[in-house]
Structures are given as C-alpha cells and as structure tokens.
C-alpha cells in the first residue's frame, strides 16, 4: 500500500508507518502500515490479552514492557492489546520496532501520529533496546530512498547513526530526517506532545524550533 493514499485528513489513532526489508538478504524495501489497539481488560480478574498478526508476539511483548517502564505508559501492560500489519505483510526484522511502539503509544494516548503538510505520514525506523534506546538498523539509506520516492517528508531514525550522510535526500526531496535517541523522544515528537511540532520541510525549520527540543538532531 502506498502511504500517500487516503490519509489527507490524518491518520486514525493507533496507526504508524515504517519502511521494512526482507530478512533473506534482499535489498528490497517497502512501506508497511502498522495498526494497534489497546483497551482496559473487561474483568480485573482476567489476564490481559495480546494478539498479533503479521509480527512476532515476543517482539510486541518486548515493546509493551519497554513502553511501560521507559515511556511513562505503566498501565499499558494491564490492557488488552492488538497489533496488526495491514495487507497480510509479515515483519520479520527489528528495524520496525519503533513504528510498532509508536502505534501502541498512539492508541494508548488516543492521539494521532502527525502527518506532513503534503498529507504523508511520518515514518519510523529503528530497533528498540531494553533500555528504551533506539538502535541502528540495516539498509538505512535504502529505506530512506524508498521513503523519498513515496513522497515522505519526515522520517525518524536512530541518533546513533551519526556518520550517516543524508544531505542529498534532504536537499533533493525536501525531507526532514530526525535523529532520536530514545522511544520517549520519538513519542513526544511524533505525537506532538509538550507543544512541540516538527517542521515538515527542512527549509521551514527555524533555529527556535530546533532549540525547543534538544534531544533531537535536525
């Protein structure tokens, strides 16, 4: 599915986009839409349910634990949670962790992930460690190139990829590639919390906007 279709009015709660690759070693990369839903368990005596389609259950359980401990979402693990990868896709690599976490955060806070001025969603790339840190992913330039061709304007990537040269993508496609160090930073930016809104095009980014959130390198 093309993420530029049918979202001009914004994303529903619990929806996040990523660019994933095949585990077979192929250089093929493609966009994937992740949906999440959480709600209070019907009966307090019942254990919370977690159901996943298109993604490993263990990986989602890890995301729930990290968000509960490192992202001020302590009641999330006591709720029923459902995660689905749209279109029958199967995510088999960890570079999509951040998008899964963002979908869960969106449904938990009942807040939409922001979209760019051209109507495209923010895209999230990154593996999440047990400490809530965002870890590097493989084939990052390939993923970013796919995002650029799709017209994506804002992409979140791991801050640890400091030597990555993305100037061509930013200059030629007008992308804002944001480096985040933790899942908490990504949630605050991606959901527009704490009054901070990402500038949708690099040319429009002001120094005052950059200074308002020191945890992100623009």
Asked if the model's pLDDT at residue 45 lies above 90, the reply is: no
- pTM attached to this predicted model: 0.83
Asked if the model's pLDDT at residue 194 lies above 70, the reply is: no
What are the pLDDT digits (tens) for 121-174? 899 999 999 999 999 999 999 999 999 998 899 999 999 987 888 888 888 888
Closest CA to 59 of 96, 89, 18, 109: 96
- What's the confidence (pLDDT) of residue 171? 87
């Amino acid at each position: 599915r093309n993420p530029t279709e049918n979202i001009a009015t914004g994303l529903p709660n619990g929806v996040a986009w990523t660019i994933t690759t095949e585990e077979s070693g192929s250089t093929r990369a493609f966009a994937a839409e992740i949906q999440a839903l959480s709600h209070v368990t019907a009966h307090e005596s019942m254990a919370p349910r977690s159901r996943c389609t298109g993604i490993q259950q263990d990986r989602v359980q890890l995301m729930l634990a990290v968000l509960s401990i490192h992202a001020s979402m302590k009641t999330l693990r006591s709720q029923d949670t459902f995660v689905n990868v749209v279109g029958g896709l199967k995510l088999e690599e960890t570079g999509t962790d951040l998008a899964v976490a963002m979908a869960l955060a969106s449904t938990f806070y009942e807040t939409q992930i922001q979209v760019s001025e051209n109507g495209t969603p923010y895209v999230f790339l990154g593996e999440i460690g047990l400490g809530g840190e965002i870890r590097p992913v493989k084939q990052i330039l390939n993923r970013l190139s796919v995002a650029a061709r799709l017209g994506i304007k804002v992409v979140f990537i791991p801050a640890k990829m400091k030597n990555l040269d993305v100037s061509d993508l930013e200059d030629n496609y007008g992308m804002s590639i944001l480096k985040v160090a933790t899942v908490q930073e990504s949630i605050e930016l991606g959901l527009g919390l704490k009054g901070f809104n990402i500038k949708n095009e690099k040319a429009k980014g002001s120094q005052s906007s950059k200074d308002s959130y020191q945890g992100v390198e623009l």
